[in-house]
């Protein structure tokens, strides 16, 4: 999807998920399996005639089905490496992690999360009054900004157009900064939100005397009121200095300068930066990402930033401490022109623990044009092959070519190009409750004209990318 910069835009259009293959829409793995099936069938006919063809039918027919049939949006041959990897991880106990503090010294400036290779270093940044996350293995350093807005759905059309144009300028600015690797926008709905009210009550009512004040104190402290807090975070990942050396003051100052520029650009889209997250704020976000109910009970803090005590990854869900989670991938955004508020059902729907994450990776103009032209060449070769064998071109293929031409025209006109990925994480306290909320999510996504797919066999990695504001790469 390209970043819209013209203020007259009143609708949003997303490109289709590209499903092109090497030949006739088949990937290299599918072509290899189909080729083996044809070799087996032809060899059987030449060696034993019709009898051999019939005897070997279970073999070549199974291979042909594996190479051409899709299950849950993925070719059968594509499930093989995923299933193999999952079984290997189960046998090596890589799907289970237990954290213990007995006899272990907890480093104050290091965070190790289950399922993540390597460790994250916490770097203080006095200029932003924040704590940055340094991932040396990925070569990025990340800052997390809390953002608030004045609303969008109830605005008049002129105000909405102004905000859409402002956000388009923000995205265009991201494409012009080579230091930015990717940006993650996270909209969370988590239990809690009573901590400010409790602090206000303690400061102004030390000893309740009336029946009403006693009842109100019981509601605030007894857990009878269970509100849901909505939080919006923007994580910006920058290229970190190479090497294993410690970051210098000049390195941190340069990172702070880039991050401050991003925060300043949000003002043009009528968004209010509420400050970069410090150590305690990051600790609260990490805790609520793995165990939202426990984080709500302990939101008065402060708590140290640490990994969950126990994690058990299963085929379709992730169990962490006292909660279970399931992560979905947005496989298809709306295929027609939609209003910019099309995500309203997902963002403002039922107030249950849920996280919607959009990861945007800016692409250079040269790289984007190279990818588009390679895709167009593959489509042209595929079309020539279909014409040769008399196969009719599908409408979805024509739509993909039209999307490529539109993207190329926008790039030539000077627009930026970003690669978007959407992830949604649903949380609950039990598996039965989780399945109910997953069914509700799938219905809500359909109302938003989005198609979602549960990420089977990769729930641990998916949760890291979707529920934690570290602007990590896509799966």
In a domain, 340, yes or no: yes
- Each residue of 350-367: pLDDT tens digit? 778 889 999 998 887 788
Could you write out the DSSP letters of every residue in 286-345? HHHHH-HHHHHHTTT--------SEEEE-SS-EEETTEEEEEEEEEE--SS-B-TTTTHH
Q: Is there a single domain that holds both residue 36 and residue 132?
A: no
In a domain, 213, yes or no: no
User: Angle 367-370-376 (CA atoms, 0-180°, nearest 5)?
Assistant: 140
- Each residue of 67-124: pLDDT tens digit? 777 776 677 777 888 888 888 888 888 888 877 655 444 456 888 888 777 788 899 9
- The answer on pLDDT for 242 being more than 80 is no
The residue out of 67, 94, 121 marking a domain boundary is: 94
Q: Is there a single domain that holds both residue 332 and residue 429?
A: yes
In a domain, 382, yes or no: yes
pTM: 0.82
Q: Is there a single domain that holds both residue 88 and residue 132?
A: no
In a domain, 330, yes or no: yes
Q: Which of 143, 427, 391 has its CA nearest to residue 288?
A: 427
In a domain, 218, yes or no: no
Q: Is there a single domain that holds both residue 318 and residue 458?
A: yes
Q: Is there a single domain that holds both residue 346 and residue 253?
A: yes
Q: Is there a single domain that holds both residue 85 and residue 129?
A: no
- Each residue of 432-474: pLDDT tens digit? 999 999 999 999 999 988 999 999 988 988 999 999 999 887 7
In a domain, 333, yes or no: yes
Q: Is there a single domain that holds both residue 357 and residue 291?
A: yes
In a domain, 306, yes or no: yes
Distance CA(96)–CA(77), nearest Å, equals 27
Q: Is there a single domain that holds both residue 79 and residue 119?
A: no
Predicted confidence at residue 390, as pLDDT, reads 73
Q: Is there a single domain that holds both residue 232 and residue 323?
A: yes
The residue out of 36, 67, 94 marking a domain boundary is: 94
In a domain, 204, yes or no: no
Q: Range of 397's domain?
A: 111-192+227-467
Q: Which of 38, 10, 52, 377 has its CA nearest to residue 164?
A: 10
Q: Which residues contact 381 (CB under 8 A, 6 or more apart)?
A: none
Q: Is there a single domain that holds both residue 370 and residue 445?
A: yes
Q: How many domains does the chain have?
A: 2
Q: Is there a single domain that holds both residue 152 and residue 79?
A: no
Q: Is there a single domain that holds both residue 185 and residue 272?
A: yes
Q: Which is higher by pLDDT, 387 or 263? A: 263
The residue out of 94, 120, 151 marking a domain boundary is: 94
């Amino acid at each position: 999807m390209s970043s819209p910069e013209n203020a007259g835009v009143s609708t949003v259009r997303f490109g289709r998920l590209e499903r092109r293959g090497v030949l006739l829409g088949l990937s290299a793995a599918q072509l290899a399996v189909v080729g083996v099936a044809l070799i087996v069938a032809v060899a059987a006919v030449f060696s034993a005639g019709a009898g051999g063809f019939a005897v070997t039918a279970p073999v070549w027919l199974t291979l042909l089905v594996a190479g051409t049939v899709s299950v849950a949006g993925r070719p059968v041959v594509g499930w093989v490496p995923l299933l193999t990897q999952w079984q290997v991880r189960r046998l090596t106990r890589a799907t289970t992690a237990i954290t213990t503090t007995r006899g272990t010294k907890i480093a104050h400036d290091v965070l190790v999360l289950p399922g993540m290779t390597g460790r994250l270093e916490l770097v203080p940044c006095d200029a932003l009054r924040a704590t940055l996350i340094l991932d040396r293995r990925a070569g990025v350093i990340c800052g997390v900004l809390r953002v608030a807005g004045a609303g969008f759905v109830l605005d008049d059309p002129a105000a909405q157009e102004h905000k859409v144009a402002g956000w388009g300028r923000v995205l265009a600015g991201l494409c012009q900064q080579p230091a930015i690797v990717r940006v993650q926008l996270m909209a969370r709905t988590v239990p809690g939100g009573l901590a400010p009210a409790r602090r206000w009550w303690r400061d102004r009512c030390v000893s309740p005397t009336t029946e009403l004040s006693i009842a109100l104190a019981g509601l605030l402290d007894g857990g009878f009121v269970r509100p849901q807090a909505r939080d919006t975070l923007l994580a910006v990942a920058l290229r970190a200095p190479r090497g294993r050396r410690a970051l210098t003051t000049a390195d941190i100052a340069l990172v702070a300068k880039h991050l401050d520029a991003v925060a300043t650009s949000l003002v043009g889209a009528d968004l209010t930066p509420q400050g970069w997250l410090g150590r305690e704020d990051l600790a609260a976000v990490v805790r609520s990402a793995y165990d939202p109910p426990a984080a709500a009970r302990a939101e008065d803090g402060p708590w140290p930033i640490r990994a969950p005590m126990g994690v058990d990854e299963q085929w379709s869900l992730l169990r962490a401490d006292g909660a279970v989670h399931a992560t979905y991938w947005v496989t298809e955004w709306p295929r027609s022109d939609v209003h910019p508020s099309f995500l309203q059902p997902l963002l403002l729907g039922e107030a249950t623990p849920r996280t919607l994450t959009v990861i945007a990776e800016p692409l250079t103009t040269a790289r984007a044009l190279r990818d588009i032209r390679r895709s167009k060449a593959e489509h042209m070769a595929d079309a020539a092959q279909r014409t040769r064998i008399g196969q009719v071109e599908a409408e979805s293929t024509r739509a993909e070519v039209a999307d490529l031409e539109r993207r190329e025209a926008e790039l030539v006109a000077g627009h930026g190009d970003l690669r978007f990925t959407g992830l949604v994480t649903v949380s609950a306290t039990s598996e039965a409750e989780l399945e109910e909320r997953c069914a509700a999510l799938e219905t809500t996504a359909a109302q938003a004209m989005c198609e979602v797919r549960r990420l089977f066999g990769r729930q641990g990695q998916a949760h890291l990318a979707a529920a934690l504001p570290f602007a990590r790469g896509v799966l």
